[in-house]
A and B are shown apart, each in its own frame.
Chain A
Amino acid sequence: MNNIEASVPVREFRFEFTGNAREYFGIWIVNVLLTVLTLGIYSAWAKVRRKRYFYGHTRLHGSSFSYLADPRMILKGWGIAMVVFVVYSIVARIAPGTKPLFFAAFVLVLPWVIVRAAFFNARNTAYRNIRLNFDKNYRAAVKVYVGLLLLVPFTLGILYPYYAYRQKKFILDHSGYGGSRFSLDVGAGKFYGVYFKAMGIFIAGLLLMAMLAALLGVAGMSVAEFGKVLKTGMVTSLLLVMVATYFFVMVYLQTAVANLTWNNVTIAGNRFHSTLHFGRMLWIFFSNLVVIVSTLGLLAPWARIRATRYRFANLTMCASSDLDDFIARTQETQTGAAGEELSEVFGVEIGL
């Protein structure tokens, strides 16, 4: 902190999510119905309505966000993604030998997909009638998403946290609002810290599994009938520990990476403060999963609203100004949605 920064009075603006489950349920069920009846065509309009609802209810300093995508563009992108998905799933089943080929092609188009998706999302997100923007730097994308990604296996995964860090940095450093750029000001070391802790959780899970497996070995040698019952119980608990470990690691990574990223992002002298709590996140994710599965998806809208509300309730902007000084920057707005839809179908994580 230097003197000039310290002298600027910092104001705190809380993010706030005001959506409610009852209202969203109606939007969701109509979306699902029309999507099914139109064999998926409506999903483009459904996505726009859903996002408009969520963006519109996300508020910061008295104004809300807007989602501006044109459903027809999304439909086109969705069509391309579907063709790719269907060809992939059928060919991969008929000739499993082609999987490496698909993987190679996937790695090669990944930078393109990521850049297009990030651009599409940024240009269709607005706050106070000014759109976010994204610089389409394919060269930098290839460095991160092909170069680094291919190095990861050769370093036995040791490079992975660095790769994760560079991913975040690539997206944020190329995103902007108005004439200002976001910037992620943190070293890769912090990311290693987060991934080491995740590794710790994973190893604890493995130890627990090893213990159970050892017990299983003992049980296998014991009296036939009793051993059999015990064995089934052991196998069940082994599976449970496995799933739980996976769950803990995933939620921990999501929480810690989100906090780390937001707490180190700046834009035009404004900072953010994210206070997501691991235990709380664990509870929300777990209870959401239980509720969604046990209501056969019926309460999914409620779960989604609840998770979003928690996330934004824990995000604050530490602003050095009144947020009035951002000036619009001209960048083309129309862009294909193929990248965005491909990344969604194949589960590529982008976004902040």
Chain B
Amino acid sequence: MISLKASRYDGRSSQRQEVGLDFDEYGFVRVHGTDIELRYACTDVRLAPAIGNLPRELRFPDGSLCEVAPHPLLDGLLATAAGQFASWLHRGENSFRYALAALAVTVIVVWAGIEYGIPVLARQVAYALPLSTESQLGDGALEALDHFVFSPSRLAEQRRTRITTLFTKMKRAGSQRRDYQLVFRRSPRIGANALALPSGIIVLTDELVGLAQHDEEIVAVLAHEVGHVDHGHSLRWVLQNSASGLLIASLTGDILSASSFAAALPTMLLQARYSREFEAEADTAAADYLRCEKISLTHFANILKRLADAHIREGKDTIDYFSTHPSTVERIERLRAIALQRDIHTP
């Protein structure tokens, strides 16, 4: 027979009674104390799964509760609601070695998820969805931009036709995944820039055209933007950020609410990281196109450099702590590496 001391709460009033519990060899438990003498079959008693070093909770069919200091034999005497898994869990939680192992596995899984899992899944989903899904993303985007940041282009008709011809040629050479469209806009607000909208519309600002010293430089920029569209970056961006937001929320959910301050930081860092990957992918696409057209990558590097200088000059980069674009130096280095590789492979 096993005897334990317990605190009993009858479930009808908030009184506490100190009682004794006797477990006999016939599968019964006797609850006894001042004015109390009760007997239950052990199979009717529910034992809440152990957690930490907290007292174990025994719930009886009449709604009463007994709290007992943890005892190694309790799980053998009474059936736990969650069974074997619960005791395994409890052992894992209380062992320093298991905690370390859990930590290591968590870090690996989270890292792999962020690095490979989410991007690969997002790519699969983005490519599997019909093109119209992504086009819908950009519906109305140009109108909104026209309203807020753009004004009509003031480029000479001749210059525009020239660039459009170059662009049409690129469309024919590149993948035929969708209908691209090139539009010209002026924007003192965002300065020299090019944007790819999800619907396949590529916006080129007068300021960027003005910054370019060769047509090849504009071709490089356009090829980069086409790369964004070809790889479905806007849809993948939405998918990846939603997924990583969920991941962060589930990780920090135990710490903070999803909307809190500290949870925003890792989400922001992840977003920046993903968009840097997209830029690199678009750069590679542009480099591939330029090589096919036998255009030197130097042109691409030059316009990148000039763009960066222009942005710094206009003071547009000063507060860019979480820059979503990789640094220009980094990008030019990468282009140089690509060029070098190509030189080795092409005799």
Contact = CB atoms under 8 A, between A and B. Distances in A.
Consensus secondary structure, chain A interface? helix
B258 A347 contact: yes
B102 A36 contact: no
B319 A235 contact: yes
A32 to B, nearest CB: 5
B52 A36 contact: no
B254 A31 contact: yes
Given A36-B113, A90-B242, A129-B64, A289 B262 contact: yes
Interface stretch (A168-176, A204-212, A324-332): A324-332
Interface string A34-47: 01110010010010
Interface string B255-267: 1011111100100
A27 B250 contact: no
A130 B318 contact: no
Interface in A211-269: 231-232, 235, 239, 247
Contacts of A323: 14
A306 B228 CA distance: 47
A33 interface: yes
Interface string B1-24: 000000101111111100000000
Nearest to A349: B257
B15 A324 contact: yes
Interface residues of A, number: 65
B99 A292 contact: no
B258 A325 contact: no
Interface stretch (A50-58, A105-113, A117-125, A195-203): A50-58
Contacts of B102: 29-30, 32-33
A129 B9 contact: yes
Given A52-B51, A127-B14, A235-B318, A29 B106 contact: yes
Given A40-B246, A63-B16, A231-B318, A32 B251 contact: yes
Interface in B250-305: 250-255, 257-262, 265
B136 A94 contact: yes
A297 B258 CA distance: 14
B65 interface: yes
A300 interface: yes
A325 B10 CA distance: 13
Nearest to B315: A231
B259 A347 contact: yes
Interface in B78-125: 89, 92-96, 98-99, 102-103, 105-106, 109-110, 113
A43 B250 contact: yes
A99 B12 CA distance: 49
Interface in A312-337: 323-328
Given A28-B254, A29-B102, A129-B65, A328 B262 contact: no
A37 B109 contact: yes
B149 interface: no
B14 A27 contact: no
A208 B242 CA distance: 37
B54 interface: yes
B188 interface: no
Interface in B53-87: 53-55, 57, 63-65, 67
Contacts of A280: none
Contacts of A62: 16
B260 A347 contact: yes
A49 B318 contact: no
Interface of A: 19, 23-33, 35-37, 40, 43, 46, 49-50, 52-53, 56-57, 62-64, 66, 82, 85-86, 89-90, 93-95, 97, 127-130, 178, 231-232, 235, 239, 247, 289, 292-293, 297-298, 300, 303-304, 323-328, 344-347
Top 8 closest A-B pairs, CB basis? A129-B9, A347-B259, A326-B14, A26-B93, A56-B54, A129-B65, A300-B255, A33-B102
29 contacts: A19-B52, A26-B94, A26-B99, A27-B51, A28-B254, A29-B103, A29-B106, A31-B254, A33-B105, A35-B250, A35-B251, A36-B106, A36-B110, A56-B54, A62-B16, A64-B67, A82-B246, A86-B242, A86-B246, A95-B136, A129-B10, A129-B64, A130-B9, A235-B319, A289-B262, A292-B255, A300-B255, A325-B13, A327-B14
Interface of B: 7, 9-16, 48, 51-55, 57, 63-65, 67, 89, 92-96, 98-99, 102-103, 105-106, 109-110, 113, 136-137, 139-140, 238, 242, 245-247, 249-255, 257-262, 265, 318-319
Given A27-B93, A347-B260, 12 more contacts: A30-B102, A31-B254, A36-B110, A36-B250, A64-B55, A89-B242, A128-B16, A130-B9, A235-B319, A239-B319, A303-B255, A347-B257
